[in-house]
Amino acid sequence: MSIAGYISSRELKDLLISLAALVIAFSVLMGGRSIPGMEMVLIIALGVGTGFLLHEMAHKFVALHFGYLAEYRANMTGLLLAVVLSFAGFIFAAPGAVMISKPRAPAEFYQQDPFGQAELIKQLKNESLWISLAGPMTNIALAAAFFIVLLLSTPDGIAARAANFGLIINLTLAAFNLLPFGPLDGKKIFESNRIVWFIVGLPTILLGLSVYLRMI
């Protein structure tokens, strides 16, 4: 079974489990390391829901655009760490990843022509760059949208609170995923194009860190 032929039942299950764990983790972190009231949980769920789901779907659909097979898989260890570490005042935003693969290896890869292989490697690096950028750039765009809503909202109103949390959550997700380590998007971007990482990744990480330090 699938939704619109794009999301399998297994993928939907993993997305919902990951979403629930992230909502708990951000609720604990932003609630002063304890579970906040239902209104705040719902507001946080809005920010996490848009940030996490659209982040992963951006990876998925850009990968599909380039002809890859792509499906989200939850990382149960990462989800457990996210919840546990939130009580210590730290968010570990690595709930899982969109797993991608080519349906079959490109024929050019097996050519003996070194130039042809070099062109293929360049193409694959370019595809990896755009697929990896898609998630964090979605969070950056959402953070900017929430910031505009925050500026236009009545101070202390529910819209302002929702926009504030949405801004913080999406900026945090973008900054964390742009770190150039491990399986994170930032490492793939850094390896594909260091100039792009320095232009996009470094400022986002510094801004996200400043927001995080004010929050804890």
Of 85 and 113, the structure prediction assigns the larger pLDDT to: 85
Query: How many structural domains is the chain composed of?
Result: 1
Distance CA 30, CA 156 (A): 17
Tokens representing 86? 């939130």
Given a cut of 80, is residue 116 above it in pLDDT?
Answer: no
Measured CA distances, 87 to 20, 118, 125 (Å): 16, 48, 38
Distance CA 117, CA 123 (A): 10
Given a cut of 90, is residue 32 above it in pLDDT?
Answer: no
Distance CA 77, CA 183 (A): 14
In the prediction, which pLDDT does 198 show? 96
In the prediction, which pLDDT does 160 show? 92
Q: Which long-range contacts (CB under 8 A, 24 or more apart) does 177-181 make?
A: 177/55, 177/93, 177/135, 177/136, 177/139, 178/136, 178/204, 178/205, 179/205
> What residues act catalytically?
56
Least confident span in 40-44, 109-113, 155-159: 109-113
Cα dihedral 92, 181, 98, 210, rounded to 10, equals 50
- Tens-place pLDDT, residues 45-74: 999 999 999 999 999 999 999 999 999 999
Least confident span in 101-105, 128-132, 173-177: 101-105
CA terminus-to-terminus distance, the chain: 42
Average pLDDT over residues 27-47: 82
In the prediction, which pLDDT does 107 show? 55
In the prediction, which pLDDT does 103 show? 73
Q: Give the residue numbers spanning the domain of 55.
A: 2-215
Instruction: State pTM to two decimals.
Output: 0.86
- Tens-place pLDDT, residues 142-188: 999 999 999 998 888 889 999 998 999 999 999 999 999 988 999 99
Residue 106 pLDDT level (bands cut at 50, 70, 90) = low
In the prediction, which pLDDT does 180 show? 95
In the prediction, which pLDDT does 29 show? 84
